[in-house]
Amino acid sequence: MSKKLYLNAEEVAETMGISVAFAYKIMRELNAELKQKGYIVVSGRVNKQYFLERTCYGTPQNGKES
């Protein structure tokens, strides 16, 4: 399984162009959402697929590009 499933704070910060401290805040929010949905979360990491879905860095919801 070589595909990376989780992002760390440095990767989130680099992707979004924000500070590492703010990346941790976003990761805590996303992990709290996942935990509320019943998923197991990893502290200090965020699920890459969920991160992409919840930010503008994933594919458009309807599958069309603008």
List of residues 6+ apart from 9 with CB closer than 8 A: 20, 23, 24, 27, 44
- What amino acid is encoded at 35 in this protein? K
The tokens for 30 are 């996303």
Q: Does 16 have pLDDT greater than 50?
A: yes
Tell me how far CA of residue 22 lies from CA of 11, 28, 40, 65, in angstroms. Answer: 12, 10, 22, 28
Q: Does 51 have pLDDT greater than 90?
A: yes
Q: What is the reported pLDDT for 58?
A: 67
- What are the extents of the domains in the chain? 6-54
- pTM recorded for the entire structure: 0.80
pLDDT band at 45 (very low <50, low <70, confident <90, very high): very high
